[in-house]
Amino acid sequence: MATLLLLPGDGIGPEVCAEVRRVAAALVPNLVVEEAIYGGASYDAHGTPLTDEVRDRALASDAVLMGAVGGPKWADAPRHLRPEAGLLNLRKAMNVYANLRPAYCFEALAGASSLKTELVSGLDIMFVRELVGGVYFGEPRGIDVLPDGQKKGYDTALYTTSEIERAGRVAFELARGRKNKVHSAEKSNVMESGLLWKQVITELHKREYPDVELEHILADNCAMQLVRAPKQFDVIVTDNLFGDILSDAAAMLTGSLGMLPSAAIGDPNKPGLYEPIHGSAPDIAGKGLANPLAAILSFEMALRWSLKEVEAADRLLAAVKGALDSGARTRDLGGELSTVQMGDAVLCRI
Ligand code: IPM
Ligand code: MG
């Protein structure tokens, strides 16, 4: 029997994960749902955001679904023990190198975007963000004291050929099942790692995916095009840092950050890591106001990508669409529903 490990984490994480639990029980009763402590909560209990035990349980499960990590409470913890470090260490340990972040506009929410409805209606972009390399992990990094007493802070943006290739492959494969178009975003005009990114993607395309349409785009231009004419994009492949930024911008096109899921995948035989894109939202945590749909849709991606329950995933997606079509809205979407009531709106359609 397949196992899903829930890591509710901090802030609104536990509230939205509770709704995932209810949905899982109704939709796939055979799925074993386990839970472990993680993030700031784990730091408070064990002095580390990710214990070896929880890491090993994650590696032994079929899929891992995380709620959210971090919050002002842990702002002064040493960097390597901050809740965010637990997330980065988990991504690295699971080697989930491709982060799939859909920016998909549900028809019922097209009016909720800060952009004109006609610009976002029908929007369906898939980001492939490289997730275990680049400036997030590059060495050396640090803050040193210079002889004159000044300080020097530095990070290293670094990619190898194989790291770029494996992310690129995921993007090209995905595009073949969609509109067959990939934009590769980098800053090859100023960065060496960006130039290598462009060269490797160009070669990979020529060698293995000549049937897919490829366009190179500078990351800053990509940001501009995303808010000017977002429907020109199908799949966007980019590095860890640009992917972090561009996917947040794209998320807002769809109405609310509270709507968007993500899937981090690597080796197809290994568990994937599923996370809503939103953060821990400490300002509304514990109040029952959070939108659980990003977490529920992350579960939908887990069903599809790791648990091989495609039919259940289709049913869940239809239930979420049905709930939105019926007017179900949490506060972030301009409505009044609580977290649990939004969960109910989905559950009654399963
Ligand atoms: C994300 C988040 C994380 C990241 C943080 C919480 C470390 O912003 O998943 O987009 O930067 O990757
Ligand atoms: Mg981010």
The one catalytic residue in 187, 209, 234, 274 is: 187
Residue 87 beta carbon below 6 angstroms from any ligand 1 atom = yes
* CA pair distance 211, 41, nearest whole angstrom: 48
Phi and psi for 249 in degrees, rounded to 5?
-60, -45
* CA pair distance 234, 127, nearest whole angstrom: 8
Is 244 a catalytic site residue?
yes
Residue 92 beta carbon below 6 angstroms from any ligand 1 atom = no
Residue nearest to atom 6 of ligand 1 (CA): 84
Is 325 a catalytic site residue?
no
Cβ neighbors of 210 (< 8 A, separation 6 or more) are none
- Please tell me the predicted confidence (pLDDT) of residue 1: 85
How remote is the CA of residue 279 from the centroid of ligand 2, in Å?
8
* 244, 247, 248, 252, best to mutate for ligand 1 pocket (most atoms within 8 Å of CB): 244
Cβ neighbors of 24 (< 8 A, separation 6 or more) are 4, 31, 33, 299
The domain made up of 97-264 is a member of CATH 3.40.718.10: yes
Closest approach atom of ligand 1 to CA 244: 10
Residue 130 beta carbon below 6 angstroms from any ligand 1 atom = no
Is 220 a catalytic site residue?
yes
Phi and psi for 132 in degrees, rounded to 5?
-125, 20
Tens-digit pLDDT string for the chain (350 aa):
899 999 999 999 999 999 999 999 999 999 999 999 999 999 999 999 999 999 999 999 999 999 999 999 999 999 999 999 999 999 999 999 999 999 999 999 988 888 999 999 999 999 999 999 999 999 999 999 999 999 999 999 999 999 999 999 999 999 999 999 999 999 999 999 999 999 999 999 999 999 999 999 999 999 999 999 999 999 999 999 999 999 989 988 887 888 999 999 999 999 999 999 889 999 999 999 999 999 999 999 999 999 999 999 999 999 999 999 999 999 999 999 999 999 999 999 99
Q: Which CATH number fits domain 1-96+266-350: 3.40.50.300, 3.20.20.70, 3.40.718.10, 3.40.605.10?
A: 3.40.718.10
The one catalytic residue in 62, 234, 239, 244 is: 244
- The domains of the chain are located at 1-96+266-350, 97-264
How remote is the CA of residue 310 from the centroid of ligand 1, in Å?
27
pTM: 0.95
Instruction: Please determine whether the domains at 1-96+266-350 and 97-264 fall in the same fold group of CATH.
Output: yes
Q: Tell me which residue has tokens 């968007």.
A: 260
